[in-house]
Chains A and B, each alone.
Chain A
Amino acid sequence: MPNTPHGRLLRWSATAVSVALGATALTACGSSDGGDSETASGPASLTYWTWTPGMDKVVDLWNAGPGKKQQIKVTVKKQASGDTLVTKILTAHKAGKAPDLVQAEYQALPTLVSNDALADISGEVDGIKGKFADGVWQQTTLGSDAVYAVPQDSGPMMFYYREDLFKQYGLEVPATWDEFAETARALKRKAPDKALTTFSANDSGLFAGLAQQAGAKWWTTEGEKWKVGIDDASTQKVADFWGGLVEEGAIDNQPMYTPAWNKALNTGKQIAWVSAVWAPGTLTTAAPDTKEKWAMAPLPQWNKGEQSTGSWGGSSTAVTTDSEHQAAAAKFAAWLNTDPKALAALAKEGGIYPAATTAQTSDAFAQPPAFFANQPDFYTRAAEIAETTAPSAWGPNVNVAYTSFKDAFAKAAKDKSDFGAALTTMQNSTVDDLEKQGFEVAE
């Protein structure tokens, strides 16, 4: 553990969190005293929990190549992604049986670290920092000198729109959020049965990304205390913007990822989507009839001339404190996410958008996704956008904030009522939960 105030804070509160998280468990003991169990690499057999499709094939490359040379063998155990996996890792950690390596979404890292489940691998992954965008790398350090994970994939946010329908209705691609609102209103005037897009209260990650772009920092530390800024000015701005659009009926208020939403995209009832770099994959299954009719542009900005985006999704490879071969595991994590061969295989087999900046412009991304064959420079532009990812700040109870978002905003979106009040609810329940977990929270 690092000796920064942040690190001490995390360690201090580890027991409290693990008791709260494992309220059903019988053991009262919180964290194991891992961290010092460093062993030299050498013959090692590692297990790796991951949900990336085709990861076994990527790991085969390691086992046949660098892994064989260093006698480090990795075995993939495929898992389902999501918050439940975090709980599963923490449960396994409580029994001292967490796998050597885990895949973890960026927003899950503080939870895992405050439970002392992740090892500080800063010693082993020295020198790969430069391969990632600052905003991405910073998420794996939690603002300390430690490094708790190596970024694997990222989800820089972008604006997707139906090129043909924009032309048909004489709409311009919005460069700012004001223009975005104007575009939504213009479309409503020309085609009242259509909508530019929808505000989905089901996708907390999307809202978090939008707030991140606006400069929000939801969790920060102040001395020994956590500070929750979910209802800060930036997020208020984002909430009011979308709440206003929903209220005046300029955009739809139905959730995403439903059959109805798929249909709306497929039939052109909704003609744009604020999403991330992985959108082509989703569109392929959600709206199969719209192949090559979409185009991608940077996310609208709050001020003209700015260049900033948020991220939606993305994950990292972390080494657990339960691992008896932390150095070996860290070596693998570094190889997996920086070696050109590994990254090419990850892109091909797993369909991920790598966090490593050099990989974003590698051969694997020379061609646009098949669904976007009409936009040959798709990945060139994506890489440019990825570089502008704003820093994000996650805390130890992102899951609580996300659940509260879904509840409060779903109601607000449905009733077309004040989004600001929903944001306050989200802020309060997040603070309450932190306090209940035994963290000190700054006002």
Chain B
Amino acid sequence: MSSLAVRKTVPAAGTTPGTAQGPPLRRRIALIPTLTLVVGALYCLLPVAWVAIAATKSGTELFSTFTFLPGTGFADNVAELSAYRDGVYWTWMGNSALYAGLGALLSTAVSAISGYALAIYRFRGRETVFGVLMAGVLMPPVILAVPQYLLLAKADLTDSYASVLLPLILSPYGIYLARIYAAAAVPSDVVEAGRMDGAGELRIFTRIALPMMVPGLVTVFLFQFVAVWNNFMLPYIMLSDDEKFPITLGLYTLLEQGANTPALYTLVITGALLAVLPLIALFLVIQRFWSLDLLSGAVKSSP
């Protein structure tokens, strides 16, 4: 005991033994994490700040004025972006909203019911199914894009909204999360109690288990939404009609216009800034669902 206490005071006591070793030590410890976090925050936020500021610059200001000096062209940039090819940017935005919104919703629904089933029911092959899903989690979606394209081509579904939506619906990671969450959040006692009261399995799932799983499903939805919103490879391979492009692909075509045409930097930067806003809004709106805790007291009040 005593040796431990002595060792603990040694670093701080180096110069003035016995006096006020506590506070300086604690302050030093707090300083390092704080600094690390500040550096981390700067590392993440500086590029965002760059995009926000660069979006306000006109074409002539973009590369000629000081990097973090706001420009004067934001309204013009937005107007120009909206006017580009009769507002195709907003078509892309709408497409992204459709792919991400509907895709995440469908995939959350599938994840919820599969995760619940894997967590609650005991059936032959359950662990095998789960094992296969785990393997799916490890598989980067990029690798799957080409085979998925070839499969959908056989069904004549390429270059359609369905070609982007269908592969998104089954998300191994979403199912994995839903299973973990269902196992923790839905006590088997509650399910048992539901059965005793004469509720059917579907009713137990929709009325009892689903509300308990909401915070977990919100997480799944958010993950999926962000993943689809930022997805590039799958729509890139699937779609050739630029009226169906999501925002990521659209901005890429603005950037890669061929060697003899300069990239439309101001449009791309403004477009990128506007494209993050829905994500930020979504996080702010949905954040409060995370704090919901349906777990507490569930077991005690139900029997």
Given A24-B147, A285-B265, A313 and B64 contact (CB-CB distance below 8 Å): no
Interchain CB contact under 8 A, B256 and A81: yes
| Contact residues in B for A80 (Cβ distance below 8 Å) | 249, 252-253, 255-257
Given the known interface contacts A24-B147, A95-B158, the answer about A278 and B256 at a Cβ–Cβ threshold of 8 Å is no
Complexed CA–CA distance, A276 and B258 (Å): 13
Within 8 A of B (CB), among A254-294: 259, 262-263, 266-267, 276-278, 281-282, 284-286, 288-289
Evaluate contact between A281 and B262: CB separation under 8 angstroms. yes
Number of A-B residue pairs having CB atoms within 8 Å of each other in the complex: 107
Q: Are A96 and B242 in contact (CB under 8 A)?
A: no
- Against A, the Cβ 8 Å flags (1 = close, 0 = not) of B247-265 are 0010011011111111001
Question: With A77-B242, A78-B253, A288-B59 known to touch, is A25 a contact of B64 (CB < 8 Å)?
Answer: no
CB distance A27 to B262 under 8 Å? no
Chain B residue numbers with a CB within 8 Å of A187 are none
Q: Which of A10-18, A47-55, A111-119, A301-309 forms part of the interface with chain B?
A: A47-55
Which A residues lie within 8 Å of B261 (CB)? 52-53, 278, 281, 350-351
Q: What are the residues of chain A within 8 A of B146 when measuring CB–CB? A: 22, 24-25, 91
CB-CB under 8 A from A315, the residues of chain B are 258
Q: Do the beta carbons of A205 and B252 come within 8 Å of each other?
A: no
Measured between C-beta atoms, what is the minimum distance from B195 to chain A in Å?
44
Please classify the interface of chain A as helix (H, G, I), strand (E, B), loop, or mixed, using the class held by over half of its residues: mixed
Which residues of chain B from 245 to 298 have any CB-CB distance to chain A below 8 Å in the complex?
249, 252-253, 255-262, 265
Shortest Cβ distance from A84 into B: residue:
B236
The reply on A79 being an interface residue by CB < 8 A is yes
- The answer on a CB contact under 8 Å between B259 and A155 is yes
Interface residue? B44 (CB, 8 A): no
Whether a CB of chain B sits under 8 angstroms from the CB of A8 is no
- What is the interface size of chain B, counting residues whose CB is below 8 A from a CB of the partner? 30
B72 on the interface (CB 8 Å rule)?
Answer: no
Residues of B within 8 A of A350 (CB): 261
Are B64 and A289 within 8 A (Cβ)? Answer: yes
Determine the chain A residues whose CB is within 8 A of the CB of B69 once the complex forms.
Answer: none
Interface string of A342-365 (1 = CB under 8 A from B): 000000001111000000000000
> Which residues of B sit under 8 angstroms from A310, Cβ to Cβ?
none
A68 within 8 A of B: no
CB–CB B260/A24 < 8 A: no
- A289 to B, closest residue via Cβ: B64
- What residues of B have a CB within 8 angstroms of the CB of A82 in the complex? 256
Among A25, A78, A267, which residue has the most Cβ atoms of chain B within 10 A?
A78
Closest to B149 in A: A91
Chain B, range 24-47, C-beta contacts under 8 Å to A:
none
User: Which of B67, B236, B255, B261: most chain A CB closer than 10 A?
Assistant: B261
Taking CB atoms, residues of chain B closer than 8 Å to A51 are 253, 256-258
* Cα distance, A78 to B240, chains bound together (Å): 8
Cβ of B241 within 8 Å of any chain A Cβ, yes or no, is: yes
Closest to B266 in A: A285
Q: Is the CB of B257 within 8 A of A26?
A: no
Contact A288 B260 (CB under 8 A): no
The interface residues of chain B lying within 8 Å CB-to-CB of A278 are 259-261
The list of the 4 closest CB pairs from A to B, nearest first, reads A313-B259, A95-B153, A278-B260, A262-B63
A-B contact pairs, 23 of them (CB 8 A): A24-B146, A24-B147, A49-B240, A51-B253, A79-B253, A80-B253, A81-B256, A81-B257, A81-B259, A91-B146, A94-B150, A95-B154, A96-B153, A155-B260, A205-B259, A259-B67, A276-B260, A278-B259, A285-B262, A288-B59, A313-B258, A313-B259, A314-B259
Other A-B pairs beyond A22-B146, A80-B256, 5, CB < 8 Å = A78-B253, A79-B253, A286-B63, A288-B59, A312-B259
Binding site for A on B (CB under 8 A): 59-60, 63-64, 67, 143, 146-147, 149-150, 153-154, 158, 236-237, 240-242, 249, 252-253, 255-262, 265
